[in-house]
Structures are given as C-alpha cells and as structure tokens.
C-alpha cells in the first residue's frame, strides 16, 4: 500500500511563484502521510502565447524551478512526478516532458509528450501545440484520448498509469471524467490505477483549465478527486494497492482472450527488386519472397488457414521482406489475402516464393512489435491454439492449462515508470505463433473511406473523365484493353458511376505513376480527392502513351535526319578549316584568350595558371559542365589589368585647381593630396595609400574622393560596405560554388582596367557581421600595406598586387570601426561648416549646380545672400550642406514651375498620340512613335529676357515654407540653474542645455536628494553624481554657513529626453548648473562650456572641440570655456571659425567658478537661503 497525492493548481507565467506553490502542496501532502506526489502538465509555467512560451523555456528561471523542485523532493524524502518544459537546441521547438524524481532528488526517467494537442472550436479557444512543441517518440505514458496506448502499457506490465494534464474547461465538463475512468477500465481489458493531475483555473486571457484531478482504481471507481469550482491549489490522496490490480485481472482475465485483428506478418512492397509499385483494393498483385523466415511464416499461416498479411510500401529503394524501424515504410498499406503460392523462377534463389496477393482494405500502422524467437514462446503459442476450443480456455478460467501465473505483487511503480523493454505479454493473440519467426509484426488500424454522394456532380464528372482517358489509352496500348475488360467483368454493380472508389483504385493500380503519387492515392480517404489524384496519374499515363507512340513513329526518321546533318556539318567544318575561312568555336575562344593574355603583363605564377587552365579548356567538350567553369575563370584572368596603369598627374597647380573647383575649404585633405603628389614627383613613382575621412553627414567625404581621383588622373571606383555581412563580397566565392564570382576589389579592377585606381570604400563604420564571416577582418588584408601586395581572392586563388591602389575610406565616427582596421588607416577628420563657409559653398557650388539642374542656367532667377543666410540660420543647422542643397534645389524647382505656369503652353508642345485615330491602329502608331522618339530631340523651352525672379528674405517662405528653427537658442535669458553645454555626435557638434531646479521649498525639515533625467547614459549619470558631490564639497569648504545642500531636493535634467545622451564632457556644465541654482545666480546665455570634471575639481581633456565650437557659434555664443589640455586643438582651428569668440581655457573648476560667478557678492553667499529657511519655519509655527 502506498499513499499518493494528486495535486492541482493554476500555473501562470511566473515560474518562481509556481515553484513556491508546488513546494507548499508537497509540504501539505507529506504532513498527512503521502509518499508520492503527482503534479500536472506544465507545472513550471503556462505562457501567454507561443512566443512567450518559447522565451520562458529558454529563461534561467526554468532551470531554477527544476533544481529547487528536486532539492525539495530530496528534503522531504518522497517520490514525485511533474510536467515541465525543456528546450531543444537542434531546432526552434521545445519539449513538453514529465519527470519522475526519486527520494534522492534524482531524475531517474522522463518522457516527452507524444500526442500534441490541437483544438479549433468555433468562436471559442484555439490552440496548436505542434507549432512550437516537438513531438515525443515513446508511448510511455499515453495520451488520455487514445485507449490503444493504455492497453499497450498494460501489456508492458504497467499497474499505474499517470496522466499529467492541462485539460481545458471548454471540453473538460463533457470529457474529462469519462476519459479518465475509461482509461482505468479500458473496456475491461487493462484494469489499472489511473492518477490524473490536472491544471485548474484561468492561466491568462485565452486559456482556462478544468481542474477536477482524480485518482481512479482498476474498477473505474473514483477514489479521490479535487474540486472544479475552487481554483485554489489543492490535492487529493488515496492508497494504491497493487494486489487489487492483479486480483481484478485474475477475476476478469478478458485481456487473454482478446484476438488481435491488427497483428500481421509484415510483407513490405517497394520500388526495389520485384516489389514494383503500391497495391490497391480488389486487384491481384504478385510479389517474390526471398527471406527464409518470412517464407516459413507464410507456409505456417496457410497451414493454419490464416493466409492474411499486411503489405506496405518501402521508402527506400531496397529489396527486403522485413524491417527493423517503422520509419522504413509508409504508414498506410493494404490488408491482403494470400490467394496462391508457387516457387519463383529466375530470381537467383531456389527457395524463393511467388506470392499472389488480393488486397481487401486499407490499413495504417500503429506501432512495430519486436519479434521474439525463443522456442518457449512458440510452445506457449501452440498451447493456446490447441486449447482454443476448450471452454475454460475461452473464458480465461484461472485453473486452465493456458493460464499464466501472476508475478509477485509489490509497489513497483514507486521505483520508476515502466520501460519499453518490459515483458511483452502478447501470447494471448491468435497470431502470436508468429513470435517464433524472425519476421516483422505490427499493430494496425483499419481505414474507412469517407462517405460520399454518388450523384455528386463533381464525382460523376471526374468519373466520366477517367473512363474517357481509359478509352484513349486503350487505343495506344493494347495491354490496357485486357485490364479494362477484366475490371468491367468483375464490377458488382455493372456501373462504374455507382462505385467510383473502385474506379479510382483501378486507375492507380494499372498506371505506371511515381511511387509517391500512388502512395498519396492509397492514403486518400476522400473519394472526390482520390478520383482527382487518380485522374492526374492517368492523364500522365495517357501523355506517356501518346509520346511513346509518337517516338516509335518518328525516331527512325529523326535519327536518319540528324545523322545526315551531322555528316554535312562535319564536312563543312573540314572544308572551311582547309580553306582557312573559319576555325572551330572552341578554337576561336582559345585564340581570343591567348590574344588577350599577350597584351597583359601577367606575373609568372599567373601566367602558369593561365596556361594550365587554357590547356584544360582545349581538351574539354563544350557540353561538359566544367567547360563553362574554366571558361569563366579564364575570362576573369584576362579581364584583370595585369601591369596596366594610368599615367598619373604630378602637376601641383593642376591638382590645386581641380580641388578648389569641386570643394570649398577642406585644407587638411588638400594639403595631404599635394604632399602625396610632391613625394611622387621626387621619387618618380607613387605607392598606394589608405586614407579614412571621418566626419558628419553632408560635409563632402564621398565627393572629395572623386575630386582626388580627378586631380591625380586616376580611375575612380566606389562601393559601400554599410550593412555588409558576407565575407565573400570582399574575398569572393570559391570556384566550386554555382554562380561563383570574385569579390568587389577584383570586380573594381575589371571595371577601371588599371592597377592604380582610387577605390573609395564608403561607410566602413557601418559594416555588419553575420554567420558568413567577418567582413571587417577581410578588410584588414585589403587595407594593410604590408599584405595587400599579394591580396588573395577566393575565386582567382592567385595573389593580386593592390599596393598601387589608393584606398579612401569614409565614416561618420571611429567608435564602430575595429581597432586593428583603424590602425591601418591614416585618419583625417572633416568637421562641419560654420555659417560663413556654408554661404561660400552655396554661392560658389550649390546655387550654380541647382540652377543648371532646374533648367535656369541662362535665365534671370536670383537667390540673394539674405535668402541663403535665412536658409542657413532657420532651415539648415546641420553640420554638412546636404540639407542646404535640398532646399536650394527646391527653390529653383519652384521657380521653374512658376515660369512655366506664366508662359503657358506653346506651339512646340504637341500631343504625342492623336485621340481621333482608330483604336485598331493604336498599337502601330505607338510603335512608330517609339521608333522615332529616339531620333527626335525636344528643344528646351525658350524663356524671354523679360522674365525675372528674385528670391530674397521677404518671399523665401513662399518657396520653402515656414522656418524649422525659430530661435538661435533654447533660452534667450537663462534662469538660475540653466547652463549651455556643448556635445559631439555622429552628426557633428550640438549645444546641450543642463537644467536644475528645486523640487520643493527649502525648510529646516527638508531632506536632501538628487535626481537626474533626460535619457542619460551611464557615463553622464556618473558625471551628474560627481558634479553633485563636488558642488556640495565646494560650498561646504568655501562657504560652510550655506545650508543649501543640507536641505535641497535637486532635480537635474537635460532637455530633449527622446534623444539618448552619453559622454563625460558635461561635467563642468552640470556642476555649474547645480551651483547656479545653489547661489540663485543666472548664467549669461552667451556663455557655453565643455569639460570633464573629477571629484577633486580637475578639468580633463575632451574630444571634438572643433565641432563643438562650430555648434556654439551657430547658436550665437561669444564665450567658450574649455579644458586647458585642449589648447593645442584650439590653436589649429581655422581663424574664420574662432573669429568673434572669447576662449577661456581652465585647469580646475575653481577657475570656472571665478569666471562664471565673478559678479556675485561672495560675502552674501554664506547667508543665502538662511532667511528663507527661518521665515518658512516661523510661518509653520
């Protein structure tokens, strides 16, 4: 006797909460004497949906749940069964498993859920577990809905069957109790205890479980159950008596007289050997049996008058009569009768049998039974069959000779679940004598055709079409005539329209279709669908018959014609070859390759490879697959400009002219190019270099690359690596792959046809990384001057010299560029433009270009300087000029539109299509117009000189709309606590305000606090904390009587909270903001500052000073405070940018304090806030 507890609760997505509930239920169960606890399916969690379930399964809390549960089981010294989820790392599914845990906390066995639950109730719950749960392979324990599996477990020796469940409320009220009790009784066949632990309550908005966990004895009586109305965690207990199981089975031994209608000798038909195609009901089929064990078993079945076997189709092309794995065959076959047996001839085996089968019905495999070949089983089987007519044996009298003694009764289920290797108690079946033979046995179920209406129009139409196709086939193939005649003779109704199922099977049986198609027809139980599939197979048979007939008539004439053509073509080739008029196509191709190679200066190793591949091509047939591979390789080898270089320009004056024509400013880049030319002029040769331009968008990084190529007289090629994740884009594909080709670099050499081009690699800071390699690592070999003289492309598999190539890379920031790659490049920073520079760029470059693009080159349309200044100030405040270019283009486009509207239609504008033409001639007219359109060029519209348009500050809004930026800065007059800082981003410099306020009025009872907001990064949060601490230190040391920080609740904020912010350079700005609030002093709005601060007040160096100064100047700042360590950066900034700015370098924050708060009366600082605190306290009193 074992006292067990069956637990139920409502599992949610909170794993740790579910764990505590399980522990509490075990504690309560143990307190009343329970030795084993059973928990429901999915006790660890029930997710909100498919995605949530997947995420929770892979979460660390799930591992914690299992480990803690096992530890608690060990602590209580009990056994337990619990359903949980497990991840499957080989695919994107998870497993629904049940664990059996012993009293030491060890998982001694587990099973994976076999039957996945699918429900689709109209207007109710929908669920499909197979979408994300991996199906189990073992039947232990079974799914509650299928009795066959329970019977199988009983035959394996099971005495207690466990059903961990999460049965939904929608079906629970009607099905739950009936199913669980039925599984205990199993039509009086298995008689086992059933313990069904079920989930209860509403888990989420879409799922609710029924509850009512039960313990049922072998008679089907419910010993104990939990409530369905209460959703609180609960359990029920009952004693499990194994002796009662054996007593019931002995008193009602009905299992022993169950006859199996589904245990067959397994005769597999397949595509290999003589097995041919599938078999269909009502049509004889002969097969050859070679396996001696199968032959003996067939003879014994015939002797016993049981000549029935199951025939199934093998999936693999092998000739075998037995299988060892159920997956070797298709699951649906036919139940067949052996009608005759005779020796097989001409098969290489004198003992082989030819067996003629007559299929009766469709069957489906349930499982494969392991063979038992010992003589004792055979003797037991003989005894059963010998005593079959004895009344005692028939009704299972316990005193009969065939009765099998019961085993010793013990509480064995506590030791673990039943294993599949348990004794197979199948000796009571009528076909159990087959256990003595080494044959394949299966349990099957019968398949029944779906009901149909013989008068259905579709069925009758398809049936008529099949009959028609049969007639057509019979005219081409005489064999079909006899088969059709035999089929008609044996029709029971004499009318095929009354038996369409037989007609469909007949059509499939006589056709020579694909095995997969025939198997599909065999598995189809819908008559309409089966007819349509059979018609498709039959149509293919008709096409084959027609084709065979056509081929048989035409093949001889075609062969003769082709033979004649072949002889004539060969003679013609021979004549032309003798006369020297034309060579063979392959010979001409070889000559072309040789001619191309002769014009190139190939290195020795390349020349050697070229000769080898060319010799290979000569001996390959053009039809061979390798011919095209070799041809493409040779084509690439001869397309690369080996030894071909463009003549470079060494004229410095010409280079200066070109660079100044294309770009304004950019002195650093222009100086570098001039230095590069000067070095080449002195040395007489130049080497390749690797440059990297770093700067915000729109400052001309990509376009300057084109100008450099023009100044040096080099060919230009550009490609972008932004988002690139495949290393093959750089290094190429290997030749073994279909469609292989070289990488971008080799493609660029083919395009420019020189060894010394300028190659611009754009967006190197945005290069990706995927499972196909790391492209940034591939760029190392490309951009390393020590390596790129022998760059190895995967496709060519030959070293290519890239040392003469001038590589120019572009990026917005260096943070995302790998350090090894950055180390190989010479960095040139391109800062943004100030207003004066933008004005010059607009007047000299953007305006003339925009006028020409808009067709206004020689027309009086003028964009004044005032208008451009307004565009820069109120529409285009970014670091670059890309936005400014868009707005200028917009102004001139709208001007063009206004001019065209003013002039109206002219005589030059004639309709292209005449609407009065007849529709029949419309297509020909359009074709004629299309053919003439390439020859006729429309003349530009001539604009009179009287038309003149001026766009100035007064009418600019009419062309570009209202201003985007309405003020120069966020604050015209800053209140106490507000300070303008400076920041650097990938878009260039920007101003960043820091605001500090008091959260409430200061009093003697106030508690100090500090809060910072504005989507600040970790570094800025640290800076704010340092600023707050330093501010308190500074005030306490210099003005100890000022009690502000002892009572103030300060809130610091950086506006534009939607924009993430991070970096250390806001330290002195935050400190000044806090001190400005503490001293109640307003900072002038024209002062901006930047610098990192330490806890001791030291001001540290920052980056991006030039970009920050440009941003400050855009915002009308006249005084800049920056770290003294950045003085060298300040000195190299162009004078036009520094013009009008007062620079104040600082070393310590005390220097900042003296600058900012120089006008404050320091004698009043200590007394500040004292009166406010005392007045407020008096008011309160």
- Residue 128, helix vs strand vs coil: strand
Give burial (CB, 10 Å; 0-12/13-18/19+) of 904: exposed
The CB-side HSE value for 280 (13 A sphere, CA atoms) comes to 23
In whole angstroms, what separates CA 377 from the centre of its chain? 55
196 DSSP β-pair partners: 214
- Residue 882, helix vs strand vs coil: helix
d(CA 304, CA 431): 10
If you search the block for the tokens 């708060």, which residue do you land on?
A: 1157
Tell me the CA distances in angstroms from 69 to 21, 28, 85, 840, one per residue in order.
11, 15, 14, 75
What is the structure's pLDDT at 1090?
93
Residues 784 and 872 grouped into a single domain: no
What is the structure's pLDDT at 143?
42
pTM over 0.85: no
User: Which residues fall within 8 angstroms of residue 160, CB to CB, at 6 or more apart?
Assistant: 192, 193, 194, 195, 240, 413
Residues 848 and 726 grouped into a single domain: no
| Nearest CA among 113, 109, 152 for reference residue 132 | 113
Orientation of helix 604-619 relative to helix 585-598, angle to 10°: 170
701 is in an annotated binding site: yes
278 is in an annotated binding site: no
d(CA 852, CA 848): 6
Whole-angstrom Cα Rg for the chain = 45
DSSP 963: -
What is the structure's pLDDT at 384?
29
What is the structure's pLDDT at 25?
94
976 is in an annotated binding site: no
What is the structure's pLDDT at 943?
82
698 is in an annotated binding site: yes
What is the structure's pLDDT at 430?
57
768 is in an annotated binding site: no
What is the structure's pLDDT at 1145?
94
Residues 402 and 509 grouped into a single domain: no
Tokens encoding 778: 């591939």
Residues 171 and 302 grouped into a single domain: no
Residues 398 and 432 grouped into a single domain: yes
Cite the active site residues.
Answer: 1065, 1108
d(CA 702, CA 761): 9
CATH code of the domain covering residue 96: 3.60.110.10
- Residue 606, helix vs strand vs coil: helix
Residues 628 and 659 grouped into a single domain: no
If you search the block for the tokens 């500074």, which residue do you land on?
A: 1034
Residues 260 and 145 grouped into a single domain: no
User: Which residues fall within 8 angstroms of residue 750, CB to CB, at 6 or more apart?
Assistant: 636, 639, 640, 641
Given its phi and psi angles, is residue 1140 left (phi above 0), alpha (psi -120 to 50 degrees) or beta?
Answer: left
What is the structure's pLDDT at 563?
80
CATH code of the domain covering residue 1113: 3.30.230.10
pLDDT digits over 36-78, tens only?
Answer: 999 999 999 999 888 888 889 889 899 999 999 999 999 999 9
CATH code of the domain covering residue 504: 1.20.58
Residues 242 and 260 grouped into a single domain: no
Instruction: Evaluate whether residue 552 is within a structural domain.
Output: no
What is the structure's pLDDT at 1095?
92
Full DSSP string of 792-846: E-TTT-SEE--TT-EEEEEES-STTS-HHHHHTSEEEE-----HHHHHHHIIIII
| Nearest CA among 302, 296, 383, 293 for reference residue 340 | 302
CATH code of the domain covering residue 426: 2.30.130.40
Instruction: Evaluate whether residue 669 is within a structural domain.
Output: yes
d(CA 540, CA 569): 38
What is the structure's pLDDT at 73?
95
Q: Give kind and range of the element (H or E) at residue 209.
A: strand 208-210
Residues 661 and 673 grouped into a single domain: yes
Examine the fold and report which residue of 765, 795, 829 is the final residue of a domain before the chain moves on: 829
pLDDT digits over 300-351, tens only?
Answer: 888 887 888 888 888 887 878 888 888 888 889 988 888 888 888 766 677 7
162 DSSP β-pair partners: 195
Instruction: Evaluate whether residue 920 is within a structural domain.
Output: no
Going by their DSSP bridges, the two strands 690-694 and 1099-1100 should be labelled as unpaired
Instruction: Evaluate whether residue 285 is within a structural domain.
Output: yes
Under 8 Å between Cβ of 2 and 160:
no
Instruction: Evaluate whether residue 696 is within a structural domain.
Output: yes
What is the structure's pLDDT at 91?
64
d(CA 296, CA 289): 10
Examine the fold and report which residue of 829, 859, 890 is the final residue of a domain before the chain moves on: 829
d(CA 437, CA 371): 7
Per 3-state DSSP, what percentage of the chain is helix, strand, and coil (rounded to 5)? 45, 20, 40
The total number of residues written for the chain in this structure: 1181
Instruction: Evaluate whether residue 31 is within a structural domain.
Output: yes
Please tell me the total count of domains within the chain: 7
Going by their DSSP bridges, the two strands 2-8 and 234-240 should be labelled as antiparallel
Examine the fold and report which residue of 801, 829, 857 is the final residue of a domain before the chain moves on: 829
Instruction: Evaluate whether residue 872 is within a structural domain.
Output: yes
| Nearest CA among 126, 73, 132 for reference residue 99 | 73
Q: Which domain holds residue 1012?
A: 978-1173
799 is in an annotated binding site: no
What is the structure's pLDDT at 293?
87
Q: What are phi and psi of 717, to 5 degrees?
A: -140, 135
Residues 824 and 838 grouped into a single domain: no
d(CA 384, CA 380): 6
Under 8 Å between Cβ of 700 and 713:
no
Going by their DSSP bridges, the two strands 308-313 and 263-269 should be labelled as parallel
User: Which residues fall within 8 angstroms of residue 248, CB to CB, at 6 or more apart?
Assistant: 191, 218, 219
CATH code of the domain covering residue 882: 1.10.8.60
700 is in an annotated binding site: yes
DSSP 123: T
Q: Give kind and range of the element (H or E) at residue 240.
A: strand 234-240
| Nearest CA among 545, 415, 568 for reference residue 471 | 545
Segments of the chain scoring below 50 in pLDDT: 122-124, 139-146, 187-189, 255-276, 373-428, 910-920, 922-923, 926-934, 1180-1181
If you search the block for the tokens 């079946």, which residue do you land on?
A: 429
Residues 337 and 366 grouped into a single domain: yes
Going by their DSSP bridges, the two strands 193-196 and 160-162 should be labelled as parallel
| Nearest CA among 422, 439, 441, 415 for reference residue 138 | 422
Instruction: Evaluate whether residue 566 is within a structural domain.
Output: no
Tokens encoding 514: 């694909």
699 is in an annotated binding site: yes
Q: How many CB atoms lie within 10 A of CB 973?
A: 8
Under 8 Å between Cβ of 824 and 730:
no
Residues 960 and 1013 grouped into a single domain: no
d(CA 679, CA 700): 25
d(CA 895, CA 1177): 70
DSSP 133: B
What is the structure's pLDDT at 115?
57
């Amino acid at each position: 006797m074992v006292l067990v507890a069956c637990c139920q609760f409502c599992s949610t997505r909170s794993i740790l909460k579910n764990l505590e509930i399980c522990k509490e239920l075990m504690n309560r169960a143990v307190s009343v004497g329970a030795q084993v606890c059973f928990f429901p399916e999915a006790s660890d969690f029930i997710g909100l949906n498919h995605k949530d379930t997947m995420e929770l399964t892979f979460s660390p809390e799930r591992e914690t749940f299992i480990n803690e549960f096992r530890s608690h089981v060990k602590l209580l010294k009990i056994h337990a069964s619990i359903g949980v989820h497990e991840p499957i790392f080989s695919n994107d599914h998870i497993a629904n498993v049940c664990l059996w845990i012993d009293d030491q906390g060890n998982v001694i066995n587990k099973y994976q859920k076999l039957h996945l639950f699918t429900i689709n109730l109209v207007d109710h719950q929908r669920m499909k577990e197979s979408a994300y749960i991996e199906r189990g392979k073992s039947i232990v324990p079974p799914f509650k809905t299928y009795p066959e599996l329970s019977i199988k477990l009983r035959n394996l020796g099971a005495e207690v069957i466990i059903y961990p469940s999460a049965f939904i409320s929608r079906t629970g009220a009607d099905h739950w109790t009936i199913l669980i009790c039925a599984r205990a009784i199993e039509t009086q066949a298995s008689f086992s205890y059933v313990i069904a632990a079920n989930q209860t309550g509403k888990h989420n908005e879409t799922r609710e479980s029924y509850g009512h966990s039960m313990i049922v004895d072998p008679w089907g009586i419910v010993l104990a159950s939990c409530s369905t109305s209460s959703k609180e965690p609960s359990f029920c207990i009952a004693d499990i008596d194994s002796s009662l199981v054996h007593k019931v089975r002995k008193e009602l031994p009905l299992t022993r007289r169950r006859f199996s209608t589904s245990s067959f000798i397994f005769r597999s038909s397949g595509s290999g050997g003589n097995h041919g195609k599938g078999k269909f009901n009502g049509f004889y089929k002969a097969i050859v049996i070679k396996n001696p064990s199968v032959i003996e078993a067939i003879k014994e079945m015939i002797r016993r008058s049981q000549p029935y076997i199951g025939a199934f189709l093998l999936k693999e092309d092998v000739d075998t009569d037995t299988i060892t794995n159920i997956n070797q065959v298709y699951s649906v076959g036919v139940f067949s009768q052996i009608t005759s047996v005779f020796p097989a001839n001409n098969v290489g085996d004198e003992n082989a049998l030819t067996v003629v089968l007559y299929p009766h019905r469709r069957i489906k495999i349930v499982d494969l039974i392991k063979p038992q070949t010992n003589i004792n089983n055979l003797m037991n089987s003989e005894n059963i069959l010998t005593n079959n007519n004895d009344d005692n044996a028939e009704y299972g009298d316990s005193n009969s000779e065939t009765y099998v003694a019961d085993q010793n009764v013990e509480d064995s289920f506590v030791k673990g679940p039943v294993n599949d290797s348990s004794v197979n108690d199948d000796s009571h079946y009528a076909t159990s004598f087959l256990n003595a033979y080494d044959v394949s046995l299966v349990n099957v179920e019968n398949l029944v055709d779906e009901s149909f209406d013989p008068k259905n129009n579709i069925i009758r139409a398809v049936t008529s079409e099949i009959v028609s196709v049969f007639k057509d086939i019979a005219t081409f193939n005489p064999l079909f005539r006899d088969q059709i005649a035999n089929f008609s003779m044996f029709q029971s109704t004499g009318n095929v329209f009354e038996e369409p199922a037989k007609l469909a099977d007949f059509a499939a049986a006589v056709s020579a279709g694909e095995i997969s198609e025939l198997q599909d027809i065999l598995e189809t139980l819908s008559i309409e669908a089966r007819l349509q599939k059979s018609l498709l197979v039959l149509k293919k048979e008709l096409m084959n018959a027609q084709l065979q007939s056509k081929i048989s008539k035409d093949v001889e004439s075609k062969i003769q014609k082709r033979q004649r053509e072949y002889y004539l073509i060969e003679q013609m080739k021979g004549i032309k070859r003798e006369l020297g008029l034309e060579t063979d196509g392959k010979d001409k191709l070889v000559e072309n390759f040789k001619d191309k190679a002769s014009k190139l200066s190939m290195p020795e190793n390349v020349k050697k490879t070229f000769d080898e591949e060319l010799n290979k091509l000569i001996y390959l047939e053009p039809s061979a697959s390798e011919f095209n591979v070799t041809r493409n390789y040779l084509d690439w080898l001869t397309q690369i400009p080996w030894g071909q270089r463009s003549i470079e320009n060494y004229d410095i004056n010409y280079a200066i002219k070109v660079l100044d024509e294309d770009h304004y400013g950019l002195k650093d880049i222009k100086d570098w190019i001039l230095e590069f030319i000067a070095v080449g002029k002195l040395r007489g040769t130049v080497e390749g270099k690797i440059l990297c331009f770093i700067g915000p968008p729109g400052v001309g990084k990509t376009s300057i690359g084109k100008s450099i190529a023009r100044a040096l007289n080099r060919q230009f090629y550009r490609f972008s690596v932004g988002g690139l994740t495949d290393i093959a884009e750089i290094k190429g594909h290997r030749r073994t792959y279909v469609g292989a080709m070289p990488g971008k670099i080799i493609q660029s050499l083919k395009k420019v046809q020189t060894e010394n081009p300028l190659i611009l690699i754009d967006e190197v800071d945005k290069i990706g990384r995927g499972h196909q390699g790391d492209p940034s690592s591939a760029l190392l070999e490309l951009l390393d001057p020590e390596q790129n003289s022998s760059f190895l492309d995967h496709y060519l598999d030959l070293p290519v010299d890239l040392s003469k190539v001038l590589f120019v890379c572009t990026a917005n920031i260096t943070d995302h560029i790998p350090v090894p790659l950055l180390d190989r490049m010479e960095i040139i920073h391109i800062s943004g433009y100030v207003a004066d520079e933008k004005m010059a760029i607009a007047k000299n470059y953007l305006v003339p270009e925009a006028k020409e693009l808009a067709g206004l080159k020689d027309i009086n349309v003028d964009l004044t300087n005032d208008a451009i200044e307004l565009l820069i100030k109120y529409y285009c405040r970014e670091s670059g000029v890309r936005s400014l270019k868009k707005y200028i283009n917009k102004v001139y486009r709208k001007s063009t539109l206004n001019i065209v509207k003013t002039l109206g239609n002219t005589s030059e504008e004639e309709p292209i299509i005449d609407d009065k033409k007849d529709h029949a001639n419309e297509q020909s007219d359009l074709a004629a117009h299309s053919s003439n359109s390439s020859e006729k060029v429309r003349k530009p519209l001539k604009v009179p000189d009287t038309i003149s348009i001026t766009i100035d500050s007064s009418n600019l809004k009419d062309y570009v709309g209202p201003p985007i930026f309405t003020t120069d800065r966020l604050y015209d007059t800053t209140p106490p606590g507000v300070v303008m800082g400076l920041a650097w981003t990938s878009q260039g410099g920007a101003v960043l305000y820091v605001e500090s306020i008091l959260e409430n009025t200061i009093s003697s009872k106030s508690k100090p606090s500090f809060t910072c907001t504005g989507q600040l990064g970790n570094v800025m949060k640290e800076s704010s904390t340092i600023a707050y601490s330093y501010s308190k230190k500074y005030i306490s040391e210099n003005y100890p009587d000022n009690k502000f920080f002892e009572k103030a609740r300060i809130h610091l904020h950086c506006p534009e909270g939607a924009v993430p912010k991070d970096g250390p350079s806001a330290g002195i700005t935050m400190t000044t903001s806090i001190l400005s609030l503490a001293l109640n002093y307003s900072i002038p709005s024209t002062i901006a500052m930047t610098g990192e601060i330490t806890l001791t007040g030291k001001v540290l160096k920052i980056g991006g000073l030039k970009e920050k100064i440009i941003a400050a100047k855009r915002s009308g700042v006249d005084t800049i405070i920056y770290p003294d360590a950045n003085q060298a950066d300040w000195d190299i900034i162009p004078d036009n940018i520094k013009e009008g700015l007062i620079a104040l370098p600082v070393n310590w924050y005390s220097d900042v304090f003296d600058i900012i708060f120089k006008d404050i009366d320091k004698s009043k600082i200590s007394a500040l806030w004292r009166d406010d605190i005392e007045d407020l306290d008096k008011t309160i009193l």
